[in-house]
Structure 1
């Protein structure tokens, strides 16, 4: 009998889904741009029902927003307020993710929601909980699980480099901490707020969220286009030897390497390896950003480059293992199993 396990990655520019069968083989991978979802140009429900028989979905594992309203992997029917405290200060809001969330509820299929990494997560190192209200969004849990399953490493640093750049620390097979985009390395779009931006906020020239959404290396490359086009425009300019774009790429690499070294410096266990993922972390062509980073960190540990689909695949793997391996914990995160089965 055919069974399906669906995983979701709620990214900055797109919402993507991985569909696995009962043998953990890929059935399909769906990538839906968030702006098209928000404008009803594409529908997740339609894409899914045109791809598989939704009655045969055993479990869908999803992410949404900051995920700071829950601290356990929770059945969707137990979740209130979409498991978020607020949409403010979280980058540009398109509404695409909210539309997908609504359509998943309408499908009435078994579904679970992954929490983000935040102050109320007791599995995190107390120092991270004390220092930062938010460490990473929920899809970072998914891609970390994919890295864990792919390598078997229990002590590692995972660098997810894309529109945001977030590095995650895993020790003894448990997520212990992470550095979110607003406090750590730059991505193509988002990044930490520096003194100039703080002054812009204080003097009411920009909101904090506007600054956050322009604090990535796009500010260095002098690219100010639609979110979905930002990375490609920076890369295009860099390929054409634009000085600002080349400096932006070098700065991206620098900030990611600094973050990896920072997490390495606080590890309690010997490190097994370092994972690179995300659209920039796996990029070899037309610019080999992956190799640029690897050269700077390979002295610390062996480096493995995964796929830009890590978040969606990891979510699908979580769904599969909860059902078939009876997992009660994922990387230290408790799994609530009530209401996983369809009623009736």
Structure 2
């Protein structure tokens, strides 16, 4: 039997397939813009061809989509409404690729579940529900991958286009801090006073401000690769950008550790995302926190979702404290 996980990332859709009896997953990445131009059948065929699977052999797919703020449990894709979201409007960039993949899987006849995000209706620490949204579903995939490695108590910080940090205590998600609240990422970040004034004056939308408030914009670099190359040349603006990412990520991790303390644990630190692939940033975070971290790669969300699919197919009733509303049909 084969189990597939789908990561709805900021720039790409990532698929991971776990084969019964093997530990090494097959992987596929499709840019969201490319997925938007494909038909549903083309997406399923690409999944079959590139992952080396047949749709009839897939036991279950676990799908993440957008903010996942319309559901609080892991739901059967056949019964979930509006793809499990309240609205696609708001913070983030829309290409249509994620919805194409979601609909392709929903219409394929393959059994699938939809992973929720964490938001103000979630059964997490109620103090965190002052914010309407805490984290999108793919972060739960990353967290489950860490859980499957044997960790019950940890803080996970996903640092890439944006920065989101999540806490797990006693194997349950207890809260998270979303990208528009605290630490900036490469492209996205919270709105400061200047941004709020620009929005009030009609100079830009709030979403435009959010998606252009990361360290790249302020440092003047086009993308992560240009930033890394500049940092290797010791350009001051590039090093400042990386130092800023590391400082705020460490502060966000420390804040979730305060929350974990209320649950009687301190927790290991996991770092994931494209920025986690930059050793300079990881070393800085470890220096600020005084700990050694566990670094996960960008495939962790898709693999974690595949691990969820496997365990749900085998009868799991909850995942990291989230109820599973799926019953396998025979």
Q: Aligning the two structures, in what range does the TM-score lie when normalised by the shorter sequence?
A: over 0.9
Deviates more, 1:242-251 or 1:139-148: 242-251
Structure 1, gaps ≥5 residues long = none
Determine whether 1:202 maps to 2:195: no
CA RMSD of aligned residues (A): 1.7
Question: Offset of 1:77 from its aligned partner?
Answer: 0.3
Cα deviation code 1:134-161 (max 9, x no counterpart): 00000111100111111x2222111111
Determine whether 1:290 maps to 2:282: yes
Deviates more, 1:275-284 or 1:199-208: 275-284
- Map of 1:1-344 to 2, 5 A cutoff? 3-40=1-38, 43-50=42-49, 51-122=52-123, 124-129=124-129, 131-150=130-149, 152-223=150-221, 225=222, 230-267=223-260, 268=262, 269-284=264-279, 288-299=280-291, 302-324=292-314, 326-338=315-327, 340-341=328-329
Structure 2 contact 180–189 (Cα < 8 Å) conserved: yes
Question: Offset of 1:86 from its aligned partner?
Answer: 1.1
Q: 1:337/1:40 Cα in 2 relative to 1: closer, same or farther (>3 Å)?
A: closer
Structure 1 contact 220–245 (Cα < 8 Å) conserved: no
Structure 1 contact 66–90 (Cα < 8 Å) conserved: no
Question: Offset of 1:296 from its aligned partner?
Answer: 1.8
Deviates more, 1:233-242 or 1:106-115: 233-242
- Residues of 2 paired with 1:276 and 1:265: CA distance? 18
Q: TM-score, normalised by structure 2?
A: 0.94
Deviates more, 1:246-255 or 1:34-43: 34-43
- Residues of 2 paired with 1:238 and 1:46: CA distance? 41
Secondary structure of the structure 2 residue equivalent to 1:26: coil
- Residues of 1 paired with 2:93 and 2:87: CA distance? 13
Cα deviation code 1:116-149 (max 9, x no counterpart): 0001112x101011x1100000011110011111
Q: TM-score, normalised by structure 1?
A: 0.90
Structure 2 contact 247–284 (Cα < 8 Å) conserved: no
